């Protein structure tokens, strides 16, 4: 399918509040309270949210992108509903995996991670994800992390071990385990007090004091920083807490990631942040369910770990992949198959055909709000716990009814909310009135009546068409 787009609805700027809005009242499931609740900015002005970003030690896979695309849809629905947003997403460029693989590759950590960070950005752009407003990296925020550890030690929530590592004492935080619902059996604080987890990732049955500062080890190579506890590097969980404090403060609106981040990563972030600086931390927790391939966890060994590049190489477009990723509600298990890509191709083609000749208003224009005509219901589905599957159902269900200006505005608002850019439709049918106008323009030109010819050209442009003159005659195409 050609990547040439008819309706460019890319928009990388964020909407200012003050527009009429599309009556956006986004309601979303909160992992902590297990309830669907309305989203309101705590400062009454802009919705400030944080997404845990990629670990840049290789290309992100389509599972990662399910999470990033869902977060992008949330932002778009908020903005198109007239809400201003502030979106912060970090880059994890120092952890066990980035160090391990950069050392193995014989490259510096920064050189190694920069390559994968750039690849991530490239993929995000292909998938039409809006750029976060701030994208801080862990390596650039080591001093902030050291300050946070010092505060935790001072307040009695952390302690240094003999080897110069520093651990968070989970028994010092009464709410530890609430977010991920660790039951009391798993959370035997008396037992775990002396057990420690030094690796960045571990399972629920290994609940333990977790590492905030890792003492320097031989295998870290040259990747270490000076600290009050000696040379070493921050543990993975800490970076987000430090960067959130810096860019969003003690209390912010929403925190997000894939479901695997609930424990231990988000549980640990919550503990560190609350114990070091108080505040409410995240007022809402937004997690998306993992993507499976052919019904199973993605695995390199079974050839089911796909990157966007793998699929593009097989002839699929990034938009087709995006369509699949938004095809199921974010709380439902998503099963990625080749059939789903075929279906996406067909669906996008159908939408492109239906919208041929219509011109899409820009993202900012759509964010001013207004009547969405027959597609108002589709936007409501998005407001209702980001039900992308139901919104697509409404979009197709009302396609034949679309006729008024409001209807088309509604249509393009839904596409913009889903971040879909339509392909060039195959075999465009040019409506009779457009053919008539183009003919009148051509006749005016033959008669050298430039004024009339310009008038017809403008009229065509208003209707979303342009005339291309050639030696043999003229051609009329959607603008």
Q: Find which of Zn ion, ligand AMP, none residue 240 binds, CB within 5 to 8 Å per kind.
A: Zn ion
Exactly one of 52, 80, 211, 344 binds ligand AMP (CB under 6 A); which one? 52
Q: Find which of Zn ion, ligand AMP, none residue 291 binds, CB within 5 to 8 Å per kind.
A: ligand AMP
Q: Which of residues 287-306 bind ligand AMP (CB under 6 A)?
A: 290-291, 298
Distances (CA, A) of 124 to 72, 201, 338: 10, 26, 21
Give the side-chain half-sphere CA count within 13 A for 379: 32
Q: Find which of ligand AMP, Zn ion, none residue 198 binds, CB within 5 to 8 Å per kind.
A: none
**CB within 8 Å of 370: residues ≥ 6 apart:** 20, 22, 406, 409
Q: Is the link from the previous residue into 247 a cis peptide, with omega within 30 of 0?
A: no
Q: Find which of ligand AMP, Zn ion, none residue 327 binds, CB within 5 to 8 Å per kind.
A: none
Selected range binding ligand AMP among 52-60, 80-88, 206-214, 402-410, rule: CB under 6 A: 52-60
**Shortest separation between residue 90's beta carbon and ligand AMP, angstroms:** 10
261 touches ligand AMP (CB under 6 A) = yes
Structure tokens at 171: 């028994």
**Shortest separation between residue 240's beta carbon and ligand AMP, angstroms:** 11
423 touches ligand AMP (CB under 6 A) = no
- Cβ–Cβ contacts within 10 Å for residue 242, how many? 26
- Cβ–Cβ contacts within 10 Å for residue 451, how many? 7
Indicate the residue whose CB is closest to ligand AMP.
258
Q: Find which of ligand AMP, Zn ion, none residue 329 binds, CB within 5 to 8 Å per kind.
A: none
Exactly one of 83, 99, 240, 392 binds Zn ion (CB under 5 A); which one? 240
Exactly one of 52, 62, 344, 391 binds Zn ion (CB under 5 A); which one? 52
Across-strand partners of 17? 19
Is there a contact between 210 and 166 (Cβ–Cβ < 8 Å)? no
Report the helix count and the strand count for the chain, using DSSP H and E.
16, 17
Q: Which is nearer to ligand AMP, 63 or 464 (CB)?
A: 63
Q: Which is nearer to ligand AMP, 95 or 144 (CB)?
A: 95
3-state SS string for 378-435: HHHHHHECCCHHHHHHHHHHCHHHCCCHHHHHHHHHHHHHHCCCCECCCCCCCCHHHH
# binding residues, ligand AMP (CB under 6 A): 16
Give the side-chain half-sphere CA count within 13 A for 181: 4
Q: Find which of Zn ion, ligand AMP, none residue 66 binds, CB within 5 to 8 Å per kind.
A: ligand AMP
392 touches ligand AMP (CB under 6 A) = no
Buried b (16+ CB within 10 A) or exposed e, 207-218: bbbbbbbbbbee
**Shortest separation between residue 78's beta carbon and ligand AMP, angstroms:** 19
Q: Which is nearer to ligand AMP, 52 or 277 (CB)?
A: 52
132 touches ligand AMP (CB under 6 A) = no
Q: Find which of ligand AMP, Zn ion, none residue 70 binds, CB within 5 to 8 Å per kind.
A: none
Q: Find which of ligand AMP, Zn ion, none residue 64 binds, CB within 5 to 8 Å per kind.
A: ligand AMP
Q: Which is nearer to Zn ion, 240 or 418 (CB)?
A: 240
Indicate the residue whose CB is closest to Zn ion.
240
Is there a contact between 202 and 216 (Cβ–Cβ < 8 Å)? no
Q: Which is nearer to ligand AMP, 22 or 273 (CB)?
A: 273
What is the 8-class DSSP label of residue 222? T
DSSP assignment of 248-263: H-SEESEEEEEGGGII
Q: Find which of ligand AMP, Zn ion, none residue 373 binds, CB within 5 to 8 Å per kind.
A: none
Structure tokens at 261: 């981040």
**Shortest separation between residue 374's beta carbon and Zn ion, angstroms:** 41
Is there a contact between 410 and 337 (Cβ–Cβ < 8 Å)? no
DSSP assignment of 7-68: S-----SPPPBTB-BS----EEEETTTTEEEE---TTSSEEEEEE---B-SS--BHHHHHHH
Structure tokens at 366: 């759509």
List for the chain the helix, strand, coil content (%; round to 5). 45, 15, 40
Q: Which of residues 63-92 bind ligand AMP (CB under 6 A)?
A: 63-64, 66-67, 92
55 touches ligand AMP (CB under 6 A) = yes
- Rounded Cα distance between 475 and 77, Å, is 37
Q: Tell me, residue by residue from 286 to 325, as one string, x for binding to Zn ion by CB under 5 A and - for no binding.
A: ----------------------------------------
**Shortest separation between residue 52's beta carbon and Zn ion, angstroms:** 3
Is the backbone of residue 275 left (phi > 0), alpha (psi -120 to 50) or beta? alpha
Selected range binding Zn ion among 95-103, 136-144, 232-240, 303-311, rule: CB under 5 A: 232-240
Binding site for Zn ion (CB under 5 A): 52, 240
Binding site for ligand AMP (CB under 6 A): 52, 54-55, 60, 63-64, 66-67, 92, 257-258, 260-261, 290-291, 298
């Amino acid at each position: 399918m050609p990547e040439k787009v008819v309706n460019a609805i890319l928009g990388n700027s964020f909407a200012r509040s003050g527009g009429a809005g599309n009556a956006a009242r986004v309601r979303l499931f909160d992992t902590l309270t297990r309830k669907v609740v309305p989203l309101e900015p705590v400062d009454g002005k802009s919705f400030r949210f944080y997404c845990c970003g990629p670990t840049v030690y290789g290309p992100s896979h389509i599972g990662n992108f399910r999470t990033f695309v869902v977060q992008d849809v949330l932002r778009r629905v908020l903005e198109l509903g007239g809400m201003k947003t502030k979106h912060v997403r970090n880059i994890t460029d120092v952890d066990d995996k980035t160090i391990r693989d950069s050392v193995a590759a014989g490259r510096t950590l920064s050189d190694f991670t920069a390559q994968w960070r750039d690849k991530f950005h490239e993929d995000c752009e292909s998938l039409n994800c809006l750029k976060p407003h701030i994208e801080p990296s862990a390596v650039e925020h080591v001093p902030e992390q050291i300050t946070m550890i010092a505060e935790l030690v001072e307040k009695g929530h952390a302690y240094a071990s003999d080897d110069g590592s520093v651990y968070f004492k989970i028994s010092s935080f009464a709410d530890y385990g609430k977010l991920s619902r660790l039951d009391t059996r798993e959370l035997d604080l008396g037992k775990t007090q002396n057990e420690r987890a030094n690796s960045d990732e571990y399972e629920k049955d290994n609940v333990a004091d977790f590492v905030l500062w890792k003492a320097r080890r031989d295998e870290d190579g040259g990747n270490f920083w000076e600290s009050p506890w000696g040379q070493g590097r921050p543990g993975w969980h800490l970076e987000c807490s430090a960067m959130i404090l810096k860019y969003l403060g003690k209390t912010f609106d929403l925190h997000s990631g894939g479901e695997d981040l609930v424990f231990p990563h988000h549980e640990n972030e919550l503990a560190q942040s609350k114990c070091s600086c108080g505040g409410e931390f995240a007022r809402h927790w937004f997690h998306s369910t993992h993507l499976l391939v052919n019904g199973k966890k993605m695995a390199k060994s079974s050839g089911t770990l796909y990157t966007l590049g793998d699929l593009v190489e097989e002839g699929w477009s990034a938009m087709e992949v995006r369509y699949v990723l938004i095809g199921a509600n974010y709380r439902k298990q998503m099963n990625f198959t080749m059939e789903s890509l075929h279906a996406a191709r067909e669906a996008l083609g159908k939408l492109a055909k239906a919208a041929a000749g219509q011109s899409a208003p820009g993202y900012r224009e759509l964010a001013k709000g207004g009547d969405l005509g027959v597609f108002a219901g589709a936007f409501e589905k998005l407001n209702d716990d980001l039900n992308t599957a139901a919104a697509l159902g409404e979009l197709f269900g009302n396609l034949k009814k679309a006729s008024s200006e409001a209807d088309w505005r509604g249509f393009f608002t839904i596409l913009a909310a889903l971040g879909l850019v339509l392909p060039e439709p195959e075999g465009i049918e040019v409506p009779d009135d457009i053919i008539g106008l183009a003919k009148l323009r051509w006749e005016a030109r033959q008669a050298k009546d430039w004024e009339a010819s310009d008038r017809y050209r403008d009229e065509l442009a208003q209707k979303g068409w342009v005339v291309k003159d050639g030696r043999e005659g003229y051609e009329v195409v959607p603008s």
